[in-house]
Amino acid sequence: MAIARWMYDNCIPFNVVNSVYYQRMIDVVAATGLGYKGTSYHAVWVSLLRDQKKEVQLGMAFVKSVDASKIVKSTRNLFNLFDEVVMWVGPKNIVHMVTDNASNYVSAGKLLCEKYKNISWSPCVAHCLNLVLQDMGDMPHVDRLKKRASKLTVFIYNHMALIAWLRNRPGWSDIVRPRATRFATTFLSFGSIHVHKHDLQALVTSKFFVDSRLVRESKAKEAVSIILDNSFWDDINVLVKISSPLIRLLRIIDSDQRSAIGYMYEGMHRTWLGIKKIFQMKKHLYKPYT
């Protein structure tokens, strides 16, 4: 019960008891006898982690990539492919497997863990963050805002005279335009548009624009109404504040920094608290995002 209570109190996943190291840990503690003092926070975080890293580095190997482009990516085919690699490397030499979050990969990973009890599976962190951004981008009000932002940028970039005028503004840089293939791009474009708020408002209220023939076009009128709509900018501002920490975290995790993964849980926790503060702790407002 003491072990179970410790797990419940710290929200530790139940499947840790299936770890090859679980019983080994208990045996060592039992062999030490009464009076054993648990390892300190500092030791686990610094000295023991450093020693474990050295031990892992001594047995680390890089395996040549496998071309699986010709096979159907079914659960069974992926499992067979992974199993082949495991047998080649040696089951005792593998402790952890990482795949993306697609259901076929998740299922294949679970099958592999069932066959080899010493191997654990987890989803790719960068892919998880991309899926979070995708889910946010699919929220109805975000999708509506994305369409309005797209109309604005399409109108601007379809007229070289407008781009030429904007490029003469101090500090101007091109607006990031939304792409369907990258989930983060929607929010990057929101941030880019938000930075250029005053430039865009200056354009549509300038003598250059007001006196031009473009002002009579229906698409121009729609773009102007969006640019001068305060609620549009308020919504953009909120989404930039919500998505910026996630995009920053995605860049860290997706970088080549070896210690990047250490920021993951702390970064997500900070993002979660930040979103609640943006909505002044009003649950019905922050809940869809958290």
Distance CA 101, CA 130 (A): 10
Which tokens is 16 given? Answer: 């840790």
Query: By the 8 A CB rule, do 136 and 289 touch?
Result: yes
For residue 178, is pLDDT > 60?
no
> What tens digit of pLDDT does each residue of 192-212 get?
899 999 999 999 999 999 998
* Beta strand 96-99 pairing with 120-123: parallel
* Angle value at C-alpha 277, between 135 and 235, nearest 5 degrees: 55
For residue 179, is pLDDT > 70?
no
Q: What pLDDT was estimated at residue 5?
A: 94
- State the pLDDT confidence band at 265, using cuts at 50, 70 and 90: confident
For residue 220, is pLDDT > 50?
yes
> What tens digit of pLDDT does each residue of 32-41 get?
888 899 999 9
Name the 3-class secondary structure at 286. Answer: helix
Q: What pLDDT was estimated at residue 238?
A: 92
User: By C-alpha distance, which of 120, 126, 80, 87 is closest to 104?
Assistant: 80
Residue 189: partners with Cβ closer than 8 Å, 6 or more residues away = 149, 153, 175, 176, 177, 178
Name the 3-class secondary structure at 170. Answer: coil
Distance CA 10, CA 28 (A): 22
Mean pLDDT computed over 108-136: 88
* Percent residues over pLDDT 90 in the chain: 38
Weakest mean pLDDT among 61-70, 82-91, 186-195, 215-224? 61-70
Which DSSP string do the residues of 202-231 spell out, in sequence order?
Answer: HHHTSHHHHTSGGGGSHHHHHHHHHHT-HH
Distance CA 5, CA 9 (A): 6
For residue 30, is pLDDT > 80?
yes
Mean pLDDT computed over 215-236: 92
User: By C-alpha distance, which of 78, 84, 49 is closest to 64?
Assistant: 84
First and final C-alpha spacing in the chain: 32
For residue 58, is pLDDT > 70?
yes
Interior/surface letters 20-37, b for 16+ CB within 10 angstroms, e for the rest? eeeeeeeeeeeeeeeeee
For residue 259, is pLDDT > 70?
no
Distance CA 83, CA 91 (A): 9
Distance CA 280, CA 286 (A): 9
Query: By the 8 A CB rule, do 176 and 121 touch?
Result: no
Scanning the chain, the segments in alpha helix (DSSP H) are 2-9, 22-32, 41-42, 48-58, 75-89, 103-115, 125-137, 140-157, 160-167, 183-195, 197-204, 207-210, 218-227, 230-253, 264-278, 283-286
Query: By the 8 A CB rule, do 250 and 184 touch?
Result: yes
For residue 181, is pLDDT > 50?
no
Q: What pLDDT was estimated at residue 112?
A: 92
Q: What pLDDT was estimated at residue 260?
A: 61
For residue 258, is pLDDT > 60?
no
Q: What pLDDT was estimated at residue 64?
A: 66
